[in-house]
Structure 1
Amino acid sequence: MILKEERFSVITYMHRRSDAANGDVERRMPERGPAMENKDSIVTVFEEWVRDIRSELAIAKGRTDEERQEYNETLNRAILGYEEDRSKLLALIHDIVAKRRLSDLPIGSSYGSLPEAIFAEIIGLNVLELILKNKEGLEEIQVVGRQIFEVRNGTAVPSVHMLPSVRDLERIQQNLVLFNQDTLNPRKKWAEVVLRDGSRVTMTAAGFTSEPTLTIRLYTVKKFELAALAAPGLATMNEAMKGLILCLIRSYFNMVVIGPTNSGKTNFIKAMIAEMEDHERIITIESRFELHLRRDFPQKNIVEYEIDEEDPRHAGMQAFKLALRQSPKRICHAEIRDHDANLYVRACTRGHEGSITSVHVNELEDVPDAITDMCMLDGRGMDPIRLTKRITEYVTQVGFEMAVVKGKRKIVRIGEFSYEKGQVCVNDLAIYDDSTDSWKFPGNCRIAHRKKSTKMTEPGIRC
């Protein structure tokens, strides 16, 4: 019989079980005498169980190399949110708890059983698991220290849940990076993880930010097509807007999308790509796979690049060089940044019409100048005025501005760029009217663009 005051260890326990052929050693929470009425003591015992079971799960003792590799993959997928693998791990923890006859939950636990509480510590996300169970309208989870905010329908509100301690957030961070070939430590105080459904997790450690942070962005739109965005449920556009956008896509204008974070830029870009011909070769270039076009459009002719700017052999410049040799019809660049602006400009001016990207600016009028500024950073001697004119006419032919309006993501403006008398001009093709919740169409394409759209557009679709 194990003495109450003896410190429990999985290794010691296994030895005792092995030595006692007929032994049925039980390991329960110590009886609640006066010493165990202390909440901290009970929590300490629970933490010991968590550490020991975590070690047993990680060791994968007695498995062949192939079985160990498969098991580690299960752990990895469980951390990343694959429901089938999470169920396997939870069942395994149930078995371990039953064999050891562990029973008591720590005081104040929000979980229905001890295996669920242990799972949340080892594989899960603590109280974030409770938030993720209610995904209706959930778009983002933001954690700062212990405090949690839930973003639903574009609005962040304080959650009814709060992490027990900052240490719990740090443990969640380490769980998320453990099987994803990333680190979060005093030398590297940030990390990013992409979950199974394309959701993105961004983390920072104390010292880089005043408190540890965790942001989980969930992609909630499952059907990527313009018709879905025009339906009353989403109302990102209406039928007239859908017709205009189809015209612009099929006319092979080079397009740019702007808007604040979480305004729906990625989903809109994917909806436009869904309308492109399946046989057209599309090449995407991203710092992290976010669009997941091959996953969502397996029938399309798509090549996806994931670049690493810290490795010159796999940086954006190398990706663009290879991409241009792979006969792309369109290039989809998730977001123009300083180091790759010149390459994208070069691609759009060398025959790859119909390409699309996004830029972080406040208004459409700012887009050409912002891209010009990024191009000038590489130190080459270029005439900024001539470069801005070139970008306006060939790279940013049509722009889309997105915003969150009354909890719904809207395309609030579509504009056609032109360069007139040394100035960037935007001719509004469509503008959202908040007072009537509808779109107005104040202008038409310029003559040159109208000829292009008339030539390229199918009958029945007009700009």
Structure 2
Amino acid sequence: MGFNFESYLSERTIEHENKNVELNSERSFLSFYTLCIDIEKHLMQTATDDTSKDWNAIQTEAIIGEEKGVNLYLELINTYLNKFGKNNVLFPPWYKKLDEAVFHEIIGLGGVAEWLEMQNSSTCKVIQPYIYFKIDGQLEKQKQTFSEERFDKMINTLVQSDIAKRKSEDIIELMILNGKIRVTILKNVNKKHSKGTVIFRKYTVQSRSLNNKEKFQLEELAELEMIGYEAIPLLKAMVATRFNVNFIGAPETGKTTLLSYYQANENTKFEGITIQNEAEFHARELLDAPIIEFIIDDNNRKETQAAILRSDLDYLVYGETRKGVEVNLLVFLITKGIRGNKATYHTQLRPEDFPYLAAKQIQEETTSELWATMLTLASGFDFLIETIKDPDNPGKKRLRGIHELRVDEETLLIQSNTICLYDFRTQSWTYNDDISRQTKETAYITDYKAFDQFQEILTSLAQKYPMPDELKVRTSLYSKLIPKY
């Protein structure tokens, strides 16, 4: 609690738009920032006098948004406001209430507080000294600014939320507010013009679903036009058939969101394991089932993967496969017959090129042979589910397509066979019911009844919303490089 508000106040630059209040200079909120100084000192004295509480733990709870810590801070702030008659002090209009304004300024996330309340904004970027909120798919510059000291205070606050992170690191990733907000800190990006950048991301669709009585229903995504209503039975049948699926696409296209809703339809009798680099979704909120959740990083990766391989599991959900060793774990499980695996993978290239890209990553980090791994990936993952941003409305995420991966046994050419594809002109989805023999054989062994239902649904959709033949099958150029032994 030792932040120097006097220095902060002297360096602070305040910009503001007129909201029924005449504000003509940076001293307009002098009383408010002076109040923050006084309350900060009061809280420091309280912590010194009251040794019955662990104030470091309370501060950490407040930083990460745990209700107990936040409520205690607000209680102490309100007691001070009432005692000294400060309830009418003018505060910046990007806050809703005086006590919350003081709380956020003291904790250090003041500039982000307004964005935290915005239900439809998924991203906030502080590119010191400016702050931007994503609104309708576009970043919009806000009236606030961040002095160097205010920016440093925010980073110090964020890093305190995870004691495993080191403030000296130039790139830091962590989660705050009980895992609801993902934060990436980039320091020393451009020392001449900025002290760095902090990127905040929240999963707005998932957060909204948690407030519903029936959580994580695919109908919610259909209402948002991310998928078609007609695709809901198809996606449920894919889960039931226990296909191995990877959700691919560029950043911020809704991969994790669609994965979450897809996973919510999993059979509750199956034993699952989830792996995430950060807690982007909470498996127990998605599904009331026996699921073990792992948070993995470079320090515990080897031990965690060893534990998983010794575990009884029916399927694995990998929140985001960033490294070759992460994709390699999925490949290993697939070769051992584990079905119903799910993961996400960042790529903007064509779906049929995914096996090469992932195999290349695996080769660079392990001793795996490139072409053999590429073919294993192509035959092991049944489908790739591709997400995109709508080019006409970047705020909307779309299911671009569902692509079956195929391998020609004679030529070894890898193909994507698209069974569902979004048509931008008609703003609807088309379907194709041709499924390869290899996929059929694997599906019949896994659950022939579920596959029969899947095929029946797909055939019906293909008859109602047929896909042009020229859009169905594409061959990976990389597979043409495979040596012919």
Normalising to structure 2: TM-score of the pair?
A: 0.76
Letter in 1 for 2:73: L
Q: Are the counterparts in 2 of residues 105 and 113 from structure 1 also a CA contact under 8 Å?
A: no
The equivalent position to 1:338 in structure 2, one of 324, 329, 333, is 324
Query: Among 210, 227, 252, which residue is 2:218 paired with?
Result: 227
Q: Is structure 2 residue 38 aligned with structure 1 residue 49?
A: yes
CA contact (8 A) 1:258 1:358 kept: yes
CA offset at residue 215 of structure 1?
1.4
Query: What are the residue-to-residue correspondences of 1:185-204 with 2, within 5 Å?
Result: 185-186=167-168, 190-196=172-178, 198-204=180-186
Partners of 1:106 and 1:84 lie apart in 2 by 27
1:247 aligned onto 2:265: no
CA contact (8 A) 1:283 1:331 kept: yes
Cα pair 1:257 1:399 within 8 Å, conserved: yes
The reply to whether residue 439 of structure 1 matches residue 422 of structure 2 is no
1:412 aligns with: 400
| Structure 2 Cα separation of the partners of residues 303 and 291 of structure 1 | 13
Which residue identity lines up with residue 257 of structure 2 in the other structure?
N
Q: 2:358 aligns with which of 341, 347, 371?
A: 371
Q: Hey, what's the Cα distance between the residues in 2 that align with 1:291 and 1:41?
A: 39
Counterpart-to-counterpart distance in 1, 2:112 and 2:79? 24
Cα displacement string for residues 177-201 of structure 1 (whole angstroms, at most 9, x for unaligned residues): 2243155634555342332252212
Query: Residues 340, 113 of structure 1: CA spacing in aligned structure 2 closer, same or farther, 3 A cutoff?
Result: closer
Distance 1:274 1:107 in 2: 43
Q: Which of the pair has more CA radius of gyration?
A: 1
The equivalent of 1:163 in structure 2 is 145
- Where 2:227 maps in the other structure, the secondary structure is coil
Which of 90, 105, 125 is the equivalent residue of 1:121? 105
Q: Does structure 2 conserve the Cα–Cα contact (< 8 Å) formed by 1:345 and 1:391?
A: yes
Residue aligning to 1:152: 135
* Aligned amino acid, residue 163 of structure 2: Q
**CA distance in 1: counterparts of 2:51 and 2:449, whole angstroms:** 61
For residues 333 and 352 of structure 2, the distance between their equivalents in structure 1, rounded to whole angstroms, comes to 22
Q: Larger deviation: 155-164 or 319-328?
A: 155-164
Q: Decide whether the 8 Å contact of 2:123 with 2:202 is kept in 1.
A: yes
Classify 1:206/1:100 alpha carbon distance in 2 versus 1 (closer, same or farther; 3 Å): farther
Cα offset for 1:368? 0.4
Cα distance in structure 2, aligned partners of 1:322 and 1:97? 53
Instruction: Write the mapping of 1:344-363 to structure 2, written as runs, cut at 5 A.
Output: 344-362=330-348, 363=350
Q: Residue 95 of structure 2 contacts residue 101 of structure 2 at CA under 8 Å; is this kept in 1?
A: yes
Report what 2:478 is aligned to.
none
Q: CA deviation at 1:328?
A: 0.6
Deviation at 1:207, TM superposition (A): 5.3
Unaligned runs of 5+ in 1: 1-7, 10-36
Residues 257 and 357 in structure 1, CA contact (< 8 A), matched pair in contact too: yes
**Residues of 2 paired with 1:445 and 1:122: CA distance?**
59
Deviations 1:23-49 (A, max 9, x none): xxxxxxxxxxxxxx9949958855643
Unmatched 5+ stretches in structure 2:
7-24, 210-214, 459-485
The residue aligned with 2:297 is 308
The aligned counterpart of 1:428 is: 418
- TM-score, normalised relative to structure 1: 0.79
Aligned partner of residue 203 in structure 2, secondary structure: coil
Per-residue deviation at 1:288? 2.0
Contact 1:50 1:121 in 2 (8 A): no
| AA matched with 2:72 | K
Alignment partner of 1:138: what SS? coil
Q: Which residue matches 2:471? A: none
Kept in 1, the 8 Å contact 2:383–2:405? The answer is yes
For 1:360 and 1:205, how far apart are their aligned partners in 2? 23
The answer as to whether partners of 2:263 and 2:286 remain within 8 angstroms in 1 is no
Distance 1:434 1:276 in 2: 30
1:217 and 2:207 matched = no
**Structure 1 pair 387–42 and aligned structure 2 pair: CA distance change class (3 A):** closer
CA RMSD of aligned residues (A): 3.2
Is the partner of 2:49 in helix, strand or coil?
coil
Q: Which amino acid aligns with 2:234?
A: L
Conserved in 1, the CA contact under 8 Å of 2:219 and 2:232? no
Does the 8 A contact of 2:423 with 2:430 survive in 1?
A: yes
Give the counterpart letter for 1:142 in structure 2: K
In the alignment, what sits opposite 1:173? 155
Between 247-256 and 106-115, report the one with greater CA deviation. Answer: 106-115
Cα shift at 1:446: 1.0
Once the two structures are TM-superposed, the CA of residue 276 in structure 1 deviates from its matched residue by 0.8
Give yes or no for contact 1:248–1:453 (8 Å, CA) kept in 2.
no
Query: Conserved in 2, the CA contact under 8 Å of 1:293 and 1:302?
Result: yes
Q: Which residue of 1 aligns with 2:187?
A: 205
The structural deviation recorded for 1:101 is 6.0
Per-residue deviation, 1:168 = 1.8
Supply the AA of the counterpart residue of 1:178.
Answer: Q
CA–CA separation in structure 2 for the residues paired with 1:234 and 1:108: 34
- 1:323 matches 2:308: yes
Compared CA separation, residues 97 and 256, structure 1 to 2 (3 A): same
Write the mapping of 1:78-117 to structure 2, written as runs, cut at 5 A.
78-82=62-66, 85-99=69-83, 115-117=99-101
Deviation at 1:78, TM superposition (A): 2.4
Matches within 5 A, 1:285-296: 285-296=275-286
Please give the alpha-carbon distance, in whole angstroms, between the structure 2 residues aligned to 1:126 and 1:343: 41
Alpha-carbon distance, 1:270 to partner? 1.2
What SS does structure 1 have at the residue aligned with 2:195? coil
**Distance of aligned partners of 1:40 and 1:158 in 2 relative to their CA distance in 1, 3 Å threshold:** closer
1:265 matched residue in structure 2 = 255
Shift of 1:164: 4.7
Alpha-carbon contact 1:226-1:242 (below 8 Å) kept:
no
Q: How many residues align?
A: 414
In 2 relative to 1, CA 107–411 (structure 1 residues): closer, same or farther, beyond 3 Å?
A: closer
Report the CA distance between 1:402 and its aligned residue.
Answer: 0.1
